[in-house]
Structures are given as structure tokens and as C-alpha cells.
Amino acid sequence: MSLLQRVERAQRGVGIPDSGTLVPVGPGLPPAGPGAPPAGPGAPPRSAPPAGRGELLRQVRARLHDEVIRAFDSLGEVSGAADARGKVAGIVDRVIDVNGFSVTREERLRLVEEAADDLTGFGPLEPFLRDETVTEVMVNGPGHIYIERGGKIQRVESVFLSDEHVMRIIDRIITPMGRRIDESSPRVDARLPDGSRVNAIIHPLSLVGPVITVRKFAARPFTVDDLVGFGTATAEMFDFLKACIEARLNLFVSGGTGSGKTTTLNVLSSFIPADERIITIEDAAELQLRQPHVVTLESRPSNLDGKGEITIRDLLRNALHMRPDRIIVGECRAGEALDMLQAMTTGQDGSLSTGHANSPIDMLRRLETMVLMTGYELPLRAIREQITSAVDVIVHTARLKDGSRKVVNITEVYGIEDDQILTQDIFAFEQTGVRDGKIEGQLKPTGIRPTFMGRFKANGVELPPGEFGIPAEDPTRPGAVHRGKGRFTAGETPQTSATVGPTVGHGRAVAAGGMVYVSSVGPVDPDTGQVVSGAIREQARQCLRNLEAKLQGAGSSLEKVVWANWSLRDPAEFDVFNEEWVRVFPGDAPVGQGTLMPPLQRRAGFRISIGVIAEA
């Protein structure tokens, strides 16, 4: 039957089921046409006035929905939205006239648009998908639609007519991607033609009806200027991140849900030089790279027989055979984190990925957990060493209370000590106030110089004057010299802490109230200014010699010590330390207590430090 015949039959008020038999259109509604018999039992009489304007429009929509779907069950005959609007206009007029509905011109135009959207678009979602100010669309069953605009969630009046109506839109989204959703596979990830991310979940997992969540992405990818205009970060911070990308540092973008991780990753990806081969790997392709040499890979779920699944891990392993210069994984969620870390340390320097976390430290902990999800029984020390060697910078994003999205931390991962990963913030967001409900502040340098600054020069990256506000190199600053990462120091002479003496552990003596107070004294040789080598015994003896000199210089002595505090790097070494302590205080030893050593002293190489209070 031709399209024209379908329209004519719909205008006469009859539908065309699959069997070809003519039946009344619209469940519970009278067939169109004058002199039609009354509706079935329980149906309201046609002359009954509507309960209200909203109820009237609901009745019109329900009647239109059934008639249009039945008349156009073969959607391939509709060439587009404009064609659909023209063809359904007659049906809309017929439904309004036959049923005696009283609608305004604006309401009629809206009904035509909605019917056309049901045919060629995504139904009630279509207006919000076209609205550039809407960033998220959420369907909680047929009767509840929410949108996010300006970082704030609000409910809208639009609704679906039924669960089947929602399911029809879900099928329209996922069918072109070759994906499915049913009771045996009740959740699916997909994308819209513009790249927006879609998640759908249905019964039996959802108890409120079919649920759709659409994370919209701009048709034109955001640029640095856009994010600077939004207040996400300053132009100087993006210049710094661009230098990190060009220096082939490995970056992770972390943040909570909806904090702007993918948008930030997309902007960072734009800094990759155009002459490099880039491979992107995602569950649903969202990244919009503009470089000419980009290979986009997308994972695939299993088929109806439970076979054919291709995971992110599978694609990562395959990507290593595709001669990539850089690999970008849209998001690490599970065991693929191990493969990503290995890629970062085996030739794919400058790779990028994202992960859900509430802070940079949490991102590192999540990476540990994800590696353990592979099922390999790896020692925690080995996992942390792999993470430390692979990850250089964590860019942490957050959605603040006012709904704005900002980069709040740029954190360096620079080493490991005593099985703990060492990090330091290079830039941190400093809130200065709130004006008109908007949070004000800026991402500022913390005053810490990252250890990878030398990588910029080694890779030919020219830094601007002032180096983004990062302080100049100071060889006397504690912690300024670290052992480099393995992939950074290949072919180089490693730096050692012996080149610069620590500025901690020299102690300070203050006389007050007839007493002398001496702050922590460490095992530093006063002649060389270096930490004495050796185990706890040699360091304890040096501490005691230094302590004695400090007390004598302040007019006291070891014999006058009444209270002491010692900090040990390893509490298991207390017995050896105590042997040296008893040798100096053979009788009644001073009252004292032990504490764990602070990080600054640990990094200086101390195993012991001592502070005391003595009589003047």
C-alpha cells in the first residue's frame, strides 16, 4: 500500500494493522467520522469536557500518536522532518476536527512538530537535543523528563505517552549502532549522530520504567577559548598543559560524574601535534579530534548468543600492534587500566585517559583497584611502582556548588617512597568568594616546582617568560632533587640527594622560662652538611652528637634533658635506637615519647630525628 493510501485511510479514522484489516484507531477512543458508535464500556463520552488544558492536549497527543504510528508504520517512506511535518499536518487537522478538540494555532503547530519528531527524530527529547543550552537530558520513565541547564537540573512538562513510546525511541537510538536492549540485556550504552552519549536501562533493572540519560556534546568541539570563557581554567594553565602534552607527559583527567572530564580531555587532545598517529579507544565514541591521522576504535557488546564481545582491553592490546604514537582511552573503569599503564611505559609516552575520582589521590587509589580487577595477584608495591612510572600529571576537574565546572588541581606524580606514591600540587584552585550565586576564584601556582621541568627543554618545548608562575629552580630547597622516573632517566646520569644537603634536621634551640627547647635534630654531618649513610645505629649516634652540641651552645647539656621526642622512619628499629639511647642515658632516662617521622624528613633520608626539653 502506498504512502498516500496510508494517509487517506488515517484521515478517514481507520488504522492499518499488520494483517491489513481495518480497525478503529486509538485504544479506548471512538473511531473517527460522524455517526460513529459510542466507545466501549468505561470510555468517557465524546461530549464530556476535558478536565483541563493539560488533559485536553494529552488526549490529542494520545490520539495522534496512535493514528500516526499506524499510518506510518513503514518509516522508510518518510524522507525527513520537513516531509513528515507536511504529511502529518492533515492527520492532525482531521483528529482535531472529528473529535471537536479546541486548540490554538500555536498548540496545533506544536502538535505537528511533536508528531513529526516521533516519526523522524527522538520524540519528546528532540527539542532539548536541539537546545544548545541543555547539557543533559534525563528520562525517568514515561512521565518524568528532566534536563540540566547551566549546571542546574529542572523538570520539564514534556512527557512520553507510555513505556512503549520510550522503548520506541531507545530502539531508534541504538539500532543504527547494531546494539540491542531487552530483558536478557537490559542496559546499553550508545551515542547520537552528533556524538552525544546515551545510556538506557529498562525492566527488570529499572522499576520506574525505561530510563534514558543523554550527555550532550556540542556539535562544534569546545576550544581553549571556550573553556577559558566558561571559567574552567585560565589561558596560562592551558598553555602549561599544552607544554606537558608536547613534552609527551602522560596525563590522567579525573573528576566526578558530570565534572567535564571528557570535554577537558578533548581540549587536551587538540594539543597533540598533527604529524603523530593517534588511536582513540572508547565504549561509545565521543572524542572529536581534528588531527588528520586519527584511528577511532569502539568496543562492542556481545550478541544474542553471548558471543562477539570486544572490550576496551581487547582494543588496547590490538592498538599496540597498530604503530601508535599516542593512545587515548576515553575512560578507564576496570582491568584496562593495567594495559593503559603498560602502554604509557612501553613507548606510548604522551598518552591520555580519564577516570572517575573525587581527588587526584583518589584517582591513584582507583587505578590500584582497577589493576587488581584484572585478577592478577600482583604485589601492591609493584602496582604502585607501575602507576608512578606511568602517570606524570593528574588534571582534576570538579562541578562546584553553583553548577560551574572547573579544573581545580594540576598534580604531579613524582615518585614512590616506602610503598607510598608521592604527589604534589603544581596548581590548585583558590576560591576568593561568591558573587550573585557564582563561585569566584582562580587556578594558581602552589609555589612548588615540578620535577619534570627538565623534560620541556629535552623535548624542545619553549616555555614563556615566568614559566606559568612556577618558581625558579632553587637547589637549596628541600625535596627539589628526586630520583627521576625510569623512562625519564634512560641514558642520563641519575641525580642523587648527595649533591645537596637537606635544610631540615638542623634543629633550633630556644631558651625560655629556665628551660631550653630543641626542635628536631637529624643525622646530618655538620662538616659535610649531608645525611650520614648507614643504618639506624649510625644515624642515632649522629643525632645524639648533634643534640649534645645544640644543648651546649644554649647553655645546657644532655645530663639536664627532662623530656624527649624521637621520630622513627620504621618503628621496628626502636630496639636498636634504644640501645644507643641507653648508652647515653645509663641511669634514669628522660621521659619521652615516639612518633612517626614526617614526610619531609623521610624524603631527606632520615631514619631518626630527636627533639628534647632540658633545664637551662
Q: 597: closest CA among 525, 541, 521, 534?
A: 521
Q: Which helix (H) or strand (E) holds 91?
A: helix 81-99
Give the start-to-end residue ranges of the domains of the chain: 3-39+49-120, 126-215, 224-300+310-413, 509-615
3.30.1330.40, 1.10.10.10, 3.30.300.130, 2.30.42.10: which CATH number matches 509-615? 3.30.1330.40
Percentage of residues of the chain with pLDDT beyond 70 = 81
Query: What is the Cα–Cα distance from 289 to 278, expressed in whole angstroms?
Result: 9
* CATH architecture of the domain with residue range 224-300+310-413: 3-Layer(aba) Sandwich (3.40)
Answer whether the bond into residue 379 is a cis peptide, omega within 30°. no
* Pairing of the two strands 187-191 and 211-215: unpaired
In this predicted model, which residue has the larger pLDDT, 600 or 585? 585
If you average pLDDT over every residue of the chain, what do you get? 81
- The answer for 485, left when phi > 0, alpha when psi is -120 to 50, beta otherwise, is beta
470/489 Cα distance (integer angstroms): 23
Say whether pLDDT at 35 is over 50: no
What cell numbers appear for 249 in the block?
607527559
- What SS3 class is residue 171? helix
Beta bridge partners of 24: 14
Instruction: Mark residue 42 as left, alpha or beta (left: phi above 0; alpha: psi -120 to 50; beta: remaining).
Output: left
Better-predicted residue by pLDDT, 113 or 201? 201
Confidence of residue 245 (pLDDT cuts 50, 70, 90): very high
pLDDT in tens, 441-498: 888 888 888 888 888 888 888 888 777 777 776 554 444 344 456 566 544 444 443 3
Alpha helices in 131-208 (DSSP H): 163-174
Average pLDDT over residues 114-131: 82
Rounded CA separation 279/337 (Å): 16
Q: Tell me which of 90-104, 253-267, 306-320, 493-507 is least confident.
A: 493-507
Which residues are bridge partners to 430 per DSSP? 442
Fold of 126-215: Beta-Lactamase (3.30.450)
Statement: residue 419 has pLDDT above 80: no
